[in-house]
Amino acid sequence: MAQPTSMIGKFFYRIWKTIDVAGRLLIGLIAVFFIIFMVRGCVKGPDLPTYDKGSVLVLAPKGVLQEQLTYVDPIQEAINEAQGSPIIETKVADLVDAINYAKEDDNIEVLMIAPNALGGAYGGITKYQDIRKALADFKTSGKKIVANADNYSQGQYYLASMADEVYMNPQGMLMFDGMGRFRTYYKTALDNLGVKINLFRVGTFKSAMEPYIRDSMSDAAKEANLEWIGDLWSEMKTDIAGSRGMSEAKFDDYINNFPQLLSDLNGDTAKLALEHGFVDKLMSRGDFRQYMIDMVGTNEKKTSFKQIHFKSYLKAKRPLIDLPSGAANQVAVVVAKGSIVDGSQKEGTIGGDSTARLIRKARQDDKVKAIVLRVDSPGGSAFASEVIRAELERAQDEGKVVVASMGGMAASGGYWISATADEIWAQPSTITGSIGIFGMFPTFQEPANKVGVFVDGVGTTPFAGALNPLKDIDPQVGGVIQNIINNGYDEFLALVARGRDMTTEQVNEIAQGRVWSGIDAKRLGLVDELGDLNDAIDAAAKLAKVDDYKVKFMKRELSEKEKFMQQLMGNAEFSDVMDGLSSDKKPNVLVQGLTKEAQKFMTQMNQFNDPNHAYIHCMCEIK
């Protein structure tokens, strides 16, 4: 940029140069910090955390509970943290392992549940139940569990209710909002934009794409949703009431009469929770800290009670290197978590090719006698789903046992990949079924025409250029796609019928895209047994007729670049570097909400990459 000659020009030029230099300097400083901490981490190596005898294990999950953590490139993760928008997740297995270690650890005296930063669970309530089961087992050691939070959301309290003592801030609140199935509907917005949604589907209850063709939920969808949501809500109520030693009637009374009960106490939400037995005592943060100090003593710095966070605890207890098992008999576990997408994908999304590759690796290992497919998925690409299922069936043909274990969700494509397993296990609150199929292809002819963009041409057949998004779909092409979708549904029915030893007519009666809870799925014959992952692993070993075996989790092999970057970023303490670099400015809530919906819409569109445009997805998240 040439330097201007006028006085005003020179003034603004100097301002611009100052900003430019300052920006370059800031980027340079961040880069220097990165290099220093990476080198320091590599040279120094990891220090194993230590903790005193009589310590408290602090179970403080953050973000969303997940079966498998979403893969994020280490550099992108550092950038996300700097911008204040990291992906925050907690792996359920990490919490369960920490609890199990602590049960046998004489140096851990108390377990504390601190759920303030817990944001929910992916795919329903099974993840809460897995942790609750581990907490129930921990109690058999005779050690105490305490819970403390400023406020309790429904999910946070679901965990906290397992504690022997539940505490809350005097200014806190506990309110149960039940379970709901709410979606954002786009039909009018899409109509206003001139976007035409060409939808092809089979199944009365296949409502996954309703938001693109309606502005409200259909009666059929409402009927089906209330059925399975009711089962999940009943599970949660029963669990909480049992943990707190109260009747479900009392629990229902608290919810149904909450406005009046709160009014009677002049709006004191904390006192209301206390009087109805949901918390044992109200304590400020300082009072609770002192209570814990009186219980277990102070830490070395005399600033708080003796404690260790579960993540540090796992570093101290888990082996530094995950050595390969030399056991003669192994049960391989392949985790399929997220939407099913064609091709190879990283953790957090199920790739047809990448997941099949893990199954193939287990199939070709002579030590592996059985494969457990752990499913936590609402479905996705029909083609990718069949790639995965076919690889499992090949393993069966070669003599290996295959058992499907359903986590929070195993619906639509999640059910497809499970359908022909030797046994299917689900948890009572698993969301499953949704046996149906749809195809969707949006076209943008009208908005394109409005800005002066047109498509025209000739072809040797009606199918030449048929799926150009800037022109309408020819009725003949639409008929072909609908026939393909109809055939896909017939294949789905036949697949389930073969796997479940039913007739296609019997399957069709409970299919039609309808979602079921694990309880109903067991009753209807869609699953064999109710139980968690460990139950499914035991069942797989029993079917394979092996008693002495090791469990082997199949993992994607990292590239050399990924290994190098994870080592650098894992050893360097980037959280220290990033402190203070993120903006404190709070975004506009309305803009943030609309932006989130737009991002969600685009993410869904990007994941629709089936080569045949055929999808088996339930879109069955709970809000």
The catalytic residues are 206, 412
Assigned token pair, 507 = 């399957």
Alpha-helical (H) ranges within 55-193 are: 74-82, 92-104, 126-139, 154-160, 187-193
Distance CA 87, CA 73 (A): 11
Six token digits for residue 91: 């792996």
Q: Checking DSSP bridges between strand 615-617 and strand 379-381, what pairing results, if any?
A: antiparallel
Helices (H), 501-609: 504-510, 518-524, 533-543, 560-571, 574-578, 589-607
Phi, psi of 393 (to 5 degrees): -65, -35
Q: Do 541 and 437 form a contact (C-beta atoms < 8 A)?
A: no
3-state per-residue secondary structure call for 242-286: HHHCCCHHHHHHHHHCHHHHHHHCCCCHHHHHHHCCCCCEECCHH
The encoded tokens of residue 262 equal: 């709160």
Q: Report the DSSP beta bridge partners of residue 340.
A: 350, 380
Which residues on neighbouring strands pair with residue 499, listed in sequence order?
Answer: none
Concatenated DSSP letters for 142-178? T-EEEEEESSB-HHHHHHHTTSSEEEE-TT--B----
Q: What contacts 578, CB < 8 A, 6 or more positions away?
A: 78, 81, 82
- The C-alpha angle 393, 394, 399, rounded to 5 degrees, equals 95
DSSP H or E segment with residue 17: helix 7-44
